[in-house]
């Protein structure tokens, strides 16, 4: 039985950040006449995109790291995992509505931003309760070292997870792993197309040409520290 609360603190810290970002969006995009409007054919707005990205990556990371651990380690792990995945999909659906609302979907015309944030807040509260329960159960079942490993895995996984919600794709098993690999690439492509900063991987540094490469390019590169004798 573990005594560390590092995993619990990590999850709580992420949800506190999401609540703060949501409150900021609620104030800026609230009742009609009291918020900034999105204009133009490409109406993406960075704070909204950042919130969706942060929430999506956290959901995918928990699904990848903590849900399989719950299935394996908890006596009723299948039920706990099932309940979490239900709450996860509910929040993913709402996050998908945010994207549609942000970019002017015809299906979202009659919905006000205030209603959108209310739905997000409700779904986020339910998911937070599920995650807190999940983390507490794992902490009570595992040793401190295993709990610390899960916290590290969760932190390491988040930055590389898909940046968008995918409520209707498989979430577990082999099909879930395959789907996650595919949507990572498609999400990066769409993020790049929408001009979201930091969404495209940095090109790897080019290697210096070897002796054959220098010869073929007629571009010899001598070491400036070497003397004439050693050259």
State the average pLDDT over residues 197-213.
Answer: 51
Q: Is the pLDDT reported for residue 127 higher than 90?
A: yes
Residues of the chain by 3-state class (helix, strand, coil), percent to 5: 65, 0, 35
Q: Which residue has the higher pLDDT, 226 or 111?
A: 111
Is residue 199 exposed (0-12), middle (13-18) or buried (19+ Cβ within 10 Å)? Answer: middle
What confidence score (pLDDT) does residue 216 get?
54
Q: What is the pLDDT of residues 42-67, one digit of tens each?
A: 455 788 889 999 999 999 999 999 99
State the average pLDDT over residues 29-37.
Answer: 55
Could you state, in order of their start, the residue ranges of all structural domains in the chain?
A: 6-193
Q: What's this model's pTM, rounded to 2 decimal places?
A: 0.76
| 3-state secondary structure labels for all residues of 182-224 | HHHHHHHHHHHHCCCCCCCCCCCCCCCCCHHHHHHCCCCCCCC
């Amino acid at each position: 039985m573990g005594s560390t609360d590092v995993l619990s603190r990590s999850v709580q810290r992420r949800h506190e950040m999401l609540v703060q970002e949501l409150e900021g969006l609620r104030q800026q995009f609230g009742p009609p006449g009291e918020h900034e409007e999105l204009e133009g054919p490409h109406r993406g707005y960075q704070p909204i995109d950042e919130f969706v990205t942060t929430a999506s990556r956290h959901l995918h990371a928990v699904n990848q790291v903590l849900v399989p651990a719950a299935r394996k380690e908890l006596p009723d792990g299948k039920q706990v995992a099932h309940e979490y995945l239900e709450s996860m999909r509910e929040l993913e659906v709402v996050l998908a509505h945010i994207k549609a609302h942000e970019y002017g979907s015809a299906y979202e015309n009659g919905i006000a931003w205030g209603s959108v944030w209310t739905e997000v807040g409700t779904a986020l509260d339910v998911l937070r309760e599920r995650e807190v329960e999940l983390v507490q159960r794992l902490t009570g079942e595992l040793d401190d070292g295993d709990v610390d490993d899960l916290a590290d895995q969760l932190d390491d996984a988040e930055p590389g997870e898909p940046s968008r919600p995918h409520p209707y794709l498989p979430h577990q098993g082999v099909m879930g792993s395959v789907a996650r690999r595919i949507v990572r690439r498609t999400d990066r492509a769409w993020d790049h197309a929408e001009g979201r900063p930091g969404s495209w991987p940095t090109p790897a540094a080019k290697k210096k040409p070897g002796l054959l490469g220098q010869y073929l390019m007629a571009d010899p590169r001598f070491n400036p520290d070497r003397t004439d004798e050693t050259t």
